[in-house]
Amino acid sequence: MNQLLTISSLVEFIIHAVNWPICIYLPIIHKSGLLILLFIFQIMKKLLFIAIAMSSMFYSCKKDLVAQYNANIKAPLSIEFDNTMGGTDLQLSTATYTNANNELFKVTMLKYFVSNIILTKIDGTIYTVPQDSSYFLVDESKPATLSPIINVPEGEYTQIDFILGVDSLRNTKDLSQRTGALDPTGEAAGMYWSWNSGYIFFKMEGTSVVSPQINNVFQYHIGLFGGYSAPTLNNLKKVSINLSVRGIAKVKTGSTPNVHLLVNAMKMFNGNSNISIASNSVVMASAFSAKIADNYTNMFQHDHTEN
Amino acid sequence: MKLRNGIYLLFLTFFILACKKDFVQLFEGFQKPSNFPEPVYKFQHNIITKPGFELGRKLFFDPILSLDNTISCASCHIPTSAFTQHGHNVSHGINDLLGTRNSPPIMNLAWSNSFMWDGGIADLDLQPIAPITNHVEMGESMTNVLTKLKNNSTYKPLFKAAFGSEEVSNINVLKALSQFMLMCVSADSKYDSVMRNQKSFSIEEKAGYVLFQNKCNSCHKEPLFTDNSFRNNGIQPSNIDDIGRELITLLPTDKYKFKVPSLRNLEYTAPYMHDGRFLNLDAVLDHYNKQVIPTSNLDPLLLSNGFTGVSLTADEKRNLLSFLNTLNDRKFITNPLIAEQ
């Protein structure tokens, strides 16, 4: 800003300097002509001021861009997973929703793993978040989990890619590499199949009068990473979010830009297959899980970025 | 004369005491038996130490790991039954709840690359989470287990000794349990002594061994007596229609396949099969001889030479049973090191 002020005062000075000779000539000009001339000069003065001010502004902006980001320094970036149901904010346990099969339901739990985050800069360079800091369990009932923060090199980012779930390699690692969000005995306790050694990638539970289960519950626990020794179903999904349309993320030390994603959980029900709670009230490790995984991959939409 | 006797007696007592002391302190760690292959467990992630093993042993026998503090690992894995639940066809958990499968023995797990009858678990360190959290087994959460252990003052020094910190962590609970289970090595049967040229088979045992090598060895592979594969051995599906390995792989080609169990310590591990349906070995041999049903994915080895199953005469059965008896390891089931202290 200081720089801009200096340039503005310089412009003022130039205009004043230009004005001086006009003032000298003023007495010898006809009265009516004088008024016209004054008017023209006033406009010219303004135009000149605007032109010089604007160019100086552009100049200062451009200069800032070059100096502003230091790719050697990392700064925080927040990714907000704002879970919704259709066009409304998701309300656990209270609100009633209707899916494409006209089934009324309530949601009591929504959790999913986001991992292996990769970011693309405006110049095309790619930054892969170190894997050990790249596993997040988003849990609608825990507000602190909804906006994970990652540290990335300063710069302007146009794309975020991540895996919805826990990659197959990590699913086979020893205990020392299953800490934090991945601790099957702690944070990930409800997101791990002890009998089938693998993480649950996505979990939605709720109730619906159309469910034939006890207490009308429905449960969708979707996992399966492809198998340890024998190949099996792989429900790992890659999600790609383009930020260039609704606001790139400008990462710079001193602030925490927030990429605000709307995560429409209704898409788990409605999509390539319209999932019916009456017909498939409980889906876990079965072939049908692939249909649900195909649907929920489309939940994520970039809304805006708060820089 | 009396004094001299007294001195001798004194020396003898010292000698015995010294021996006993040595015996108590003796801990050789994990030893690979000379007639065994290299183990598959990744010991570099969990080095077995005496205090680690002892902590694991205490945890293994402690019912604190279950919801109502009534069921320990050892409830369904009794050392004197080669770590199975003797007399129970399927495992018996909290509140008199029953599971659907027979408790497998805990022995020679360092050579196993998958666990459970369906092989759903690939890492021994993750195995205990399954029975601890299963609602019909121990019914507890790992978080609660941790809280209970933290509130129990006897554990802190044990964790400190084993892992250098009093902090009770889940990782260390699981590692300690693995250390105990890995030490449950059964390799002192008569068969092992014969293989190490220390003993020899009787005529019947020898005839049974030849028969075994011809008719059983392709699945129950020596020296562990399992090839760790999954096969359908043609038993009639039960009323609950347990599909076995298909639950894990979702592959129809795995329907009714279960892990090939080891034949070691058969004398102590009845009843047999994944659901404990056969009460004795005669029933098992009768099954292979006469009752194999060609259900989906019946193992091709049970369909050779135009015979469904394994053909056995009465003499062959007797010889085979003699040989199978040489696989019992009394030292293993009476080993004080792996018994409740």
**What distance in Å separates residue B170's CA from the closest CA in chain A?**
6
- Residue range A192-218: average pLDDT? 95
Distance, in Å, from the CA atom of A196 to the CA atom of A166, rounded to the nearest integer, reads 15
Is the Cβ of B249 closer than 8 Å to some Cβ of chain A? Answer: yes
Task: Mark yes or no for CB contact A197/B134 under 8 Å.
Answer: no
Residue B14 confidence (pLDDT): 54
Contact with chain A for residue B250, Cβ under 8 A: yes
> Which of A:162-191 have CB within 8 Å of B?
172, 174-176, 179, 183-186, 189
CB atoms within 10 A of CB B195: 17
Contact status of A214 with chain B (Cβ, < 8 Å)? no
Tell me which H or E stretch contains A119.
strand A104-121
How many Å lie between the alpha carbon of B316 and the closest alpha carbon of chain A? Answer: 36
pLDDT score of A22: 43
Task: Give pairs for A171-177: CB < 8 Å, separation 24+.
Answer: A171/A197, A171/A198, A171/A199, A171/A225, A172/A228, A172/B122, A172/B123, A174/B42, A174/B45, A174/B123, A174/B125, A175/B45, A175/B123, A175/B125, A175/B126, A175/B171, A175/B174, A175/B175, A176/B45, A176/B171, A177/A132
* pLDDT, position A208: 97
Coil vs helix vs strand at A277: coil
Q: In the prediction, which pLDDT does A52 show?
A: 58
* CB–CB contact B250 A285 (8 Å): yes
Q: Between chains, do A185 and B170 touch, taking CB under 8 Å as contact?
A: yes
Q: In the prediction, which pLDDT does A41 show?
A: 63
Q: Which residues of chain B have pLDDT under 70?
A: 1-26
Inter-chain CB proximity A194 and B121 less than 8 Å: yes
| Disruptive mutation site among A195, A234, A235 for chain B (greatest number of B CBs within 10 Å) | A195
CA B190 to chain A, closest CA, distance in angstroms equals: 34
Residue with tokens 């909290």: B94
Which one has a higher pLDDT value, A17 or A85?
A85
Pairing of strands B230-231, A249-251: unpaired
Mean pLDDT computed over every residue of chain A: 86
State the average pLDDT over residues A142-160: 97
Dihedral of alpha carbons A284, A290, A292, A296, sign:
positive
How many beta-carbon contacts under 8 Å exist across A and B? Answer: 81
> Is the Cβ of A196 closer than 8 Å to some Cβ of chain B?
yes
pLDDT of A13: 47
pLDDT tens digit sequence for A58-83 = 555 554 445 489 999 999 999 999 99
| CA distance readout (Å), B305 to A135, B297, B313, B315 | 55, 18, 16, 20
Stated pTM of the model? 0.80
Task: Nearest chain A residue to B124 by CA: give it.
Answer: A174
Q: How confident is the model at residue A191, as a pLDDT?
A: 96
Write the CA distances from B31 to A183, B44, B54, B118, integer angstroms.
31, 15, 16, 28
- Which pLDDT score, from 0 to 100, does residue A165 have? 97
Q: Which residues in chain A have their CB less than 8 angstroms from residue B150's CB?
A: none
Nearest residue of B to residue A173, measured between CA atoms: B123
pLDDT tens-digit profile of B93-109?
A: 888 888 889 999 999 99
Q: ipTM for the complex? A: 0.77
Closest-CA distance, B45 to chain A, in angstroms, reads 8
**A241 Cα to chain B: minimum distance (Å):** 32
Gap between the Cα atoms of A137 and A148, Å rounded: 9
The model's confidence at residue A228, banded by pLDDT at 50, 70 and 90, is confident
Rounded Cα gap, residues A83 and A114, in angstroms = 14
B250 and A224: CB-CB below 8 Å? yes
B251 Cβ under 8 Å from any chain A Cβ: yes
A232 shares contact with chain B (CB less than 8 Å): yes
Confidence of residue A232 (pLDDT cuts 50, 70, 90): confident
Q: Do A195 and B254 touch (CB under 8 A)?
A: no
Contacts of A222 (CB under 8 A, 6+ apart): A200, A201, A202, A203, A235, A283, A284, A289, A292, A293, A296
For the stretch B237-272, pLDDT in tens is 989 999 999 999 999 999 999 999 999 999 999 999
Residues of chain B numbered 13-52 and touching chain A (CB < 8 Å): 42, 45
Instruction: Return the residue matching tokens 């020794």.
Output: A229
- Average pLDDT rounded to a whole number, residues A4-22: 47
Q: How confident is the model at residue A15 (pLDDT cuts 50, 70, 90)?
A: very low
Q: Does B313 touch chain A (CB under 8 A)?
A: no
Residue with token string 């045992």: B205
